[in-house]
């Protein structure tokens, strides 16, 4: 869930190009293909699979029931699979050297760059906000090609001017057709029986099927929707209790004048919205007050006197990967730089190429961050219960979790150790050192 920000949905009129499927090959949008220099990279499609998928959607998904399956355009796709001809492409050749393909796993970021260039047609989604491309000339090349040659191929749908209500019937099955292939389980669709809250619905989806928890965009959007709904509810309560005697104009004037009482009351009402700035600010205040309480009740004898940072080797920890789906594809296999280096007579299924092993491990971490993070949290609490508390004399702790680049978490901890340095000891440590020679001369 490493995305940040707010989500606003706008409706699109897609009937113009979804009533008749599949598209003709010449009408497909541009594909930007990353390829190694002097090596051709092709785009493949399978006409039979496309036909079967459309037939299935037409029969099972309510949003696809009125589509027309065009057999004439299906003939443009290889019936049993193969290279797709006459498609508009722009090939960006990389300058990755042959040596860079066989780097040590110690340089994981460089290895990841090589993998992205070799094996991806489009940038791989990360658990972080996407950054602007560094190579401006690539963007210019693509834009110029679109403007000069392929503009008619990208028939973007008309977009509405007003945001869509996320509780519009069928909103989720339209926004995430891959996750709701039958159109069922959409909370916005009325159903017999007791209705559940959106929080209960989301918690069930994240547990019942991995496709929901593996999609960071779905998790971000439903989280943001819950935040907005809670904010609207609290806003109505705030208006009834605090602003019933004020008009909207008077309330706005108070805010513009810098009325601190209004701002403080709004802050107090919104601090229960999980993930909001006020929520985290409230927890910061609790931590500061905890620190003060510890010093006051011990008469300045106790304090948080040890700072620790914990980070799990998420790509390599066996106990973690044994709990992740499909880990049997790489666990218990011998890693080699090249499959050609496998000793003669050995069982090839017991070996795995270094690059492929890294890919599988990274994919497992990125697609199962909820399991990884729960594992880290559980492991840290076991460390406290069985090591830090009984052996080192830990009494109290405060933990802050942070997300790494890959999406897994690491943590910072402050703890109070019995018989550790006191506030007086720390004040004494800040005093200037006495010159020993001066003392002897006196």
Compute the average pLDDT of residues 39-63: 84
Inside any domain, residue 281: no
Inside any domain, residue 129: yes
pLDDT of residue 409: 87
**Higher pLDDT among residues 55 and 142, named by residue:** 55
pLDDT band at 151 (very low <50, low <70, confident <90, very high): very low
Which of 312, 318, 290, 314 minimizes the C-alpha distance to 302? 290
Compute the average pLDDT of residues 131-146: 50
Inside any domain, residue 224: yes
pLDDT of residue 288: 92
- Answer yes or no: is pLDDT of 50 > 50: yes
Q: Are 234 and 269 in contact (CB under 8 A)?
A: yes
pLDDT band at 438 (very low <50, low <70, confident <90, very high): low
- Which range, of 5-9, 80-84, 362-366, averages the lowest pLDDT? 5-9
Which of 111, 62, 117 minimizes the C-alpha distance to 92? 117
- Measured in whole angstroms, the distance separating CA 74 from the mean position of its chain's CA atoms is 36
Let me know whether 14 and 153 are in one domain: yes
Inside any domain, residue 74: yes
Inside any domain, residue 282: no
Query: Looking at the chain, how many residues does it have?
Result: 442
* Number of independent structural domains in the chain: 3
Compute the average pLDDT of residues 6-21: 72
Let me know whether 169 and 97 are in one domain: no
Let me know whether 58 and 151 are in one domain: yes
pLDDT band at 413 (very low <50, low <70, confident <90, very high): very high
pLDDT of residue 381: 95
pLDDT of residue 135: 44
Inside any domain, residue 379: yes
Q: Give CA separation, 312 vs 109, 376, 383, in Å.
A: 17, 7, 13
pLDDT of residue 420: 86
Segment 273-295, tens digit of pLDDT: 888 888 888 899 999 999 999 98
pTM above 0.85, yes or no: no
Let me know whether 151 and 41 are in one domain: yes
Of 109, 130, 157, which closes a domain? 157
Let me know whether 229 and 314 are in one domain: no
Could you tell me if residue 299 is left (phi over 0), alpha (psi between -120 and 50 degrees) or otherwise beta? Answer: left
User: Dihedral of CA 123/126/132/135: which sign?
Assistant: negative
pLDDT band at 217 (very low <50, low <70, confident <90, very high): confident
Let me know whether 133 and 200 are in one domain: no
Let me know whether 174 and 148 are in one domain: no
Let me know whether 190 and 108 are in one domain: no
Inside any domain, residue 33: yes
Within 10 angstroms of residue 102's Cβ, the number of other Cβ atoms is 12
Quickly list H helices, 148-276: 171-175, 198-208, 210-213, 216-242, 248-256, 260-270
**Higher pLDDT among residues 45 and 152, named by residue:** 45
Let me know whether 114 and 31 are in one domain: yes
- Answer yes or no: is pLDDT of 319 > 90: yes
Inside any domain, residue 437: no
Residue span of the structural domain in which 326 resides: 306-420
Let me know whether 358 and 377 are in one domain: yes
Structure token pair of residue 392: 């080192």
Let me know whether 371 and 257 are in one domain: no
């Amino acid at each position: 869930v490493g995305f940040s920000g707010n989500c606003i949905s706008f409706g699109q009129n897609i009937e113009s190009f979804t009533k008749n499927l599949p598209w003709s090959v010449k009408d497909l949008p541009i594909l930007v293909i990353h390829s190694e220099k002097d090596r051709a990279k092709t785009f493949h499609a399978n006409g039979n699979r496309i036909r079967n998928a459309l037939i299935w959607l037409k029969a099972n998904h309510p949003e696809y029931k009125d589509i027309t399956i065009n057999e004439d355009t299906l003939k443009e796709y290889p019936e049993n699979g193969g290279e797709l001809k006459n498609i508009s492409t722009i090939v960006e050749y990389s300058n990755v050297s042959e040596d860079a393909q066989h780097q040590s796993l110690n340089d994981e970021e460089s290895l990841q760059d090589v993998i992205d260039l070799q094996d991806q047609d489009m940038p791989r989604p990360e658990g972080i906000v996407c950054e602007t491309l560094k190579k401006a000339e690539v963007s210019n090349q693509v834009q110029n090609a679109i403007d000069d040659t392929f503009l008619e191929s990208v028939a973007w749908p008309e977009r509405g001017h007003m945001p869509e209500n996320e509780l519009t019937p069928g909103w989720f099955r339209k926004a995430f057709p891959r996750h709701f292939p039958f159109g069922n389980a959409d909370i916005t669709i009325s159903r017999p029986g007791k209705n559940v809250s959106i929080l209960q619905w989301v918690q069930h989806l994240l547990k019942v099927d991995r496709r929901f928890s593996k999609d960071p965009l779905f998790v971000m959007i439903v989280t943001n929707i819950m935040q907005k709904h809670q904010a609207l509810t609290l806003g109505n309560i705030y208006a009834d209790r605090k602003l019933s005697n004020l008009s909207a104009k008077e309330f706005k004037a108070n805010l513009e004048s810098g009325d601190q009482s209004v701002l403080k009351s709004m802050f107090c009402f919104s601090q229960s919205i999980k993930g909001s700035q006020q929520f985290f600010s409230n927890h910061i205040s609790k931590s500061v007050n905890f620190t003060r309480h510890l010093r006051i009740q011990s008469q300045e004898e106790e304090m948080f006197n040890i700072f620790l940072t914990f980070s799990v080797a998420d790509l390599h920890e066996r106990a973690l990967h044994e709990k992740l789906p499909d880990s049997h594809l790489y666990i218990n296999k011998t890693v080699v730089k090249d499959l050609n280096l496998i000793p003669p007579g050995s069982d090839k299924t017991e070996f795995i190429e270094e690059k492929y092993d890294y890919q599988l491990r990274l994919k497992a971490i990125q697609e199962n961050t909820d399991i990884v993070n729960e594992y880290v949290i559980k492991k840290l609490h076991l460390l406290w219960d069985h090591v830090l508390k009984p052996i080192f004399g830990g009494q109290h702790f405060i933990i802050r979790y942070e997300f790494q680049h890959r999406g897994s978490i690491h943590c910072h901890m402050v703890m109070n150790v019995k018989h550790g340095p006191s506030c007086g000891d720390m004040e004494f440590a800040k005093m200037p050192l006495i010159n020993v020679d001066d003392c002897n001369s006196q």
